[in-house]
Amino acid sequence: SVWIASELKGLHDECEHFEVFPPGHLYSSKEREFRRWYNPPWFNEAVIPSTPYDPIVLRKAFEKAVIKRLMTDVPFGVLLSGGLDSSLVAAVTARYLAGTKAAKQWGAKLHSFCVGLKGAPDLKAGREVAEFLGTVHHEFEFTIQDGIDAIEDVIYHTETYDVTTIRAATPMFLMSRKIKSSGVKWVIS
């Protein structure tokens, strides 16, 4: 028989053989195989149209993408490491927050979050950007022991033993716990 679940932990006690359900595919029970069903034109690099670089078009598209995600009625914040990508997302979010439903309900002050070991450059850079943008900034320092203590939970939730994934997911897992306890329901990054 074939069993399908969105998480491996939903099947691990019942099944002996597992396969990843590939994105953009369907499973044919008749042929007992995966078949690609989603094949957008941009999937083939040869048909991707090329357009000249226009920084104004790029900026407008980026802002539109961020603003689209601000349609919420629950408290939210931004992840802010102080790097280019998170700083740009935070800047656009801070600029457009006042006009959102969430701002009317929860206040127009953007909350930003950063995690790192004591003295980590992300903490310093995130703090500098937060001060510049005027966000309510929350820094979470963790210790190596905190990370080691969380590994079992991180592996459970990420469903992998991949070292790179676990290394990146552990601080995010610890920070997510803190964010949740602060009442923030989701973050943009």
pLDDT tens profile 89-126: 999 999 998 777 777 777 778 999 999 999 999 999 99
Q: In sequence order, what E strands does the chain have? A: 25-28, 33-36, 76-79, 111-117, 136-142, 186-188
Give the residue range(s) of CATH 3.40.50.620 domains in the chain.
55-188
What CATH topology corresponds to 55-188? Rossmann fold (3.40.50)
pLDDT tens profile 69-98: 988 888 899 999 999 999 999 999 999 987
| The model's pTM | 0.80
